[in-house]
């Protein structure tokens, strides 16, 4: 699988595609632009690899709120139970590792806006 070809096969934003599975984990690709929503994955960490653009992740932690800026090539793991909100004002492409069946909007979240796909990942078109 060539990642550039996989990314070229879809245009939907905030709607991850499952590229492959590793044990009980999905490897997902996503195109993002604008803001996601504040949400929490209670029982799993969430791994991000920025393939292109820049991703910002707002975090609500016991010490307060902060934003992590992730340029192309950066990796970051949001710890389980941490409220977070990804955003990419100028757009970004991402690779994510999450347990199969993990919802893109977490277990607890704000109201899901129309531009965010509440999904456990879509199969990548052949």
Mean pLDDT to the nearest integer, 91-120: 94
- Is the pLDDT assigned to residue 95 strictly greater than 80? yes
Return the structure tokens found at 85: 């909100």
| Alpha-carbon gap, residue 32 to 15, rounded angstroms | 8
Domain residue limits, the chain: 3-117
Q: How large is the C-alpha radius of gyration of the chain?
A: 13
- Is the pLDDT assigned to residue 89 strictly greater than 80? yes
Q: What are the pLDDT digits (tens) for 12-33? A: 999 999 999 999 999 999 999 9
Q: What are the pLDDT digits (tens) for 29-73? A: 999 999 999 999 999 999 999 999 999 999 999 999 999 999 999
> 3-117 has which fold?
Jelly Rolls (2.60.120)
Q: If pLDDT is split at 50, 70 and 90, which confidence band does 1 have?
A: confident
C-beta atoms surrounding 38 within 10 Å: 16
> What does each C-alpha distance from 3 to 57, 94, 102, 124 come to in angstroms?
23, 10, 22, 11
């Amino acid at each position: 699988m060539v990642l550039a070809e996989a990314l070229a096969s879809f245009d939907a934003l905030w709607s991850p595609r499952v590229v492959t599975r590793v044990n009980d984990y999905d490897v997902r690709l996503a195109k993002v632009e604008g803001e996601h929503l504040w949400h929490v994955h209670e029982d799993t960490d969430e791994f991000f690899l920025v393939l292109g653009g820049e991703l910002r992740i707002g975090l609500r932690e016991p010490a307060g709120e902060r934003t992590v800026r992730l340029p192309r090539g950066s990796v970051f793991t949001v710890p389980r139970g941490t409220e977070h909100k990804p955003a990419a004002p100028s757009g970004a492409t991402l690779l994510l590792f999450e347990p199969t069946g993990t919802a893109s909007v977490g277990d607890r979240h704000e109201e899901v806006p129309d531009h965010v796909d509440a999904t456990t990942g879509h199969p990548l078109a052949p």
